[in-house]
Amino acid sequence: MRLDPSVYHDLLLSLLPELVLTGWSLVVLLFVAWRHHTVRDLRTTGWLTLAALVSTAVATWWLWWNSATLQGQVSMIAADDFRWVATWVFLGAAALTVLISFAYLEREQLLAPEYYVLLIFGTLGMMVMAAGADLMVIFLGLELMSVAVYVLAGIDRRRARSAEAALKYFLLGAFASGFLLYGIALVYGATGTTNLGLIGALMGPPSVMLLAGLGLLIVGFAFKVAAVPFHMWAPDVYDGAPTPVTAFMATGVKAAAFAALLRVMNQAFGRVPAWHEILWWLAAITMIGGNLFALGQRSLKRMLAYSSVAHAGYLLVAVSAGGAAGTSAFLVYVIAYTLMSLGAFAVLTAKGRGGESDVLIDDLSGLAARRPWLAFALAICMLSLLGFPGTAGFIGKWYILIAATSAGQNTLAAILVLTSVVSAGYYLPVIMAMYMKPEPNEAAHVDVCLDRWGRSAVAAVVVGLLVFGVWPNRLFELARSAVETVQPTAPTPVTPP
What DSSP line would sit under 216-272, residue for residue?
A: HHHHHHHHHHT-TTS-TTHHHHHHHS-HHHHHHIIIIIHHHHHHHHHHIIIIISTT-
Residue 436's Cβ-count burial label (10 Å; 0-12, 13-18, 19+) is exposed
- Residues near 214 by Cβ (< 8 Å), separated by ≥ 6? 183, 187, 206, 269, 272, 274, 275
CA distance readout (Å), 264 to 134, 279, 319, 409: 9, 13, 11, 21
Per-run averaged pLDDT (10 residues), the chain, 497 residues: 77 89 94 84 92 95 86 78 91 94 86 90 94 92 93 86 88 90 92 87 82 92 90 88 91 92 88 87 93 89 92 93 87 93 90 70 85 91 92 92 90 93 92 87 75 90 92 85 66 38
| pTM of the shown model | 0.91
The structural domains of the chain, with segments of one domain joined by +, span 2-486
Are 231 and 294 within 8 A, CB to CB? no
Q: What confidence score (pLDDT) does residue 284 get?
A: 94
H helices within 322-451, ranges in order? 323-351, 367-370, 372-386, 392-406, 410-436
Give the 3-state secondary structure of residue 448: coil
What pLDDT is recorded for position 212?
92
Amino acid at 155: I
